[in-house]
């Protein structure tokens, strides 16, 4: 299954920018993985847990107020993701997930 979520705003007032990094805020890798997980859960309509990050690259920083798109390709319990805008790739990789027990 292939999905694209368009025009995701990374709000300038997101709490992660407070400490990452003062004076030069960027959207942390862990927040990007959380964005991927959040959209996987919405698309698959179930509670999930990331069990493994198999591959991850973060070639460009996401700054406060940036609008991005998220591309997801889901196969079994694996998701390939790409966060991008226009011709710029902010991050991409592969994660494995399991259905949450809670």
Domains annotated on the chain, with CATH:
2-99 (3.10.129.10)
pLDDT confidence of residue 102:
66
Helix, strand or coil, per DSSP, at residue 33: helix
**Mean of pLDDT over the chain:** 95
pLDDT confidence of residue 22:
86
pLDDT confidence of residue 101:
79
Instruction: Tell me the pLDDT tens digit for each residue of 8-37.
Output: 999 999 999 988 888 999 999 999 999 999
Nearest to 90, CA basis, from 10, 11, 24: 10
Tell me which residues of the chain have a pLDDT lower than 70: 102
User: In this structure, are strands 78-85 and 2-9 parallel, antiparallel, or unpaired?
Assistant: unpaired
How many whole angstroms from its chain centre is CA 29? Answer: 8
What torsion, rounded to 10 degrees, do the Cα atoms 32, 62, 89, 2 define?
Answer: 40
Length of the chain: 102
């Amino acid at each position: 299954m292939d999905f694209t979520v368009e025009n995701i705003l990374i709000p300038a007032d997101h709490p992660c920018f407070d400490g990452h990094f003062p004076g030069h805020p960027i959207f942390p890798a862990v927040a990007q993985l959380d964005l991927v997980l959040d959209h996987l859960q919405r698309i698959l309509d179930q509670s999930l847990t990331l069990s493994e990050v198999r591959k991850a690259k973060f070639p460009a920083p996401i700054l406060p107020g940036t609008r991005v798109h998220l591309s997801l390709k889901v196969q079994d319990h694996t998701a390939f993701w790409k966060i991008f805008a226009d011709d710029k790739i902010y991050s991409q990789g592969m994660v494995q997930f399991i259905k949450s027990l809670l």
